[in-house]
Structure 1
Amino acid sequence: MAVGWAGDGAVQEQIDAGIEDEIKRARSRLSRGKSLTHCRECGEPIPPARQKAVPGVQLCIDCQTELEEGQGSFTGFNRRGSKDSQLK
């Protein structure tokens, strides 16, 4: 089936590329190394259960929540807005 300039499997390639990008982004945000016993921001103790559950944790729950709320959501790239996909 002709789909304009897009080659066979182009849509699946775009989907796969988007998934791979999101996996890389998520992995880059994971903590690494030894967990801290006290929050690096406020100095409050980090509970042992949190240290065990999140290896490499550096922030208490309150500071982590504040950090994540400040980051907002990541929308990524609009791969569907490419010229090839608009030619269908």
Structure 2
Amino acid sequence: MATGWAGDGAVHEQIDATVEDAVRRARSRMRQGPGRAACEECDAPIPPARREAVPGVRLCVRCQDAEDRDATGAGAYNRRGSKDSQLR
């Protein structure tokens, strides 16, 4: 298959490099360390199993769930349904 200047598999190599960069960035933003014994928000104890499973944990499961819902709630707007987005 003729691909011009790109060698065979160049597209896949570029995709792999992009994915590797994204994984590296995500890992660099992850918290590290032992984590907290009590939740920052409600002071509920954080079980040792959670502290071991999630390095740098700072919230109990209930508060983390609420924070995750708040973070995804604003970004869930579907721009494809907006007339304004179709005009740009």
TM-score surpassing 0.5? yes
In 2, distance between residues paired with 1:53 and 1:64? 14
Q: Given the two structures, how large is their TM-score scaled by the length of structure 2?
A: 0.62
Matches within 5 A, 1:6-85: 7-8=6-7, 9-72=9-72
Evaluate the alpha carbon distance shift between residue 28 and residue 64 of structure 1 in structure 2; reply closer, same or farther with a 3 A threshold: farther
Q: What CA RMSD, in Å, does the superposition of the two structures yield over aligned residues?
A: 2.3
Report the Cα offset of residue 58 of structure 1. 0.9
Q: Kindly provide the CA deviation profile for residues 36-78 of structure 1, in whole angstroms up to 9, marking residues without a partner as x.
A: 01111222211122112222211111122222233338xxxxx
Question: Please, which moves more after superposition, 16-25 or 32-41?
Answer: 16-25
* Number of aligned positions between the proteins: 72
Q: Given the two structures, how large is their TM-score scaled by the length of structure 1?
A: 0.62
Evaluate the alpha carbon distance shift between residue 51 and residue 26 of structure 1 in structure 2; reply closer, same or farther with a 3 A threshold: same
In 2, distance between residues paired with 1:47 and 1:17? 38
Residue 21 of structure 2 aligns with an amino acid whose one-letter code is: D
> What stretches of structure 2 of length at least 5 have no aligned partner?
76-88
| The structure with more helix, counted as a fraction of residues | 2
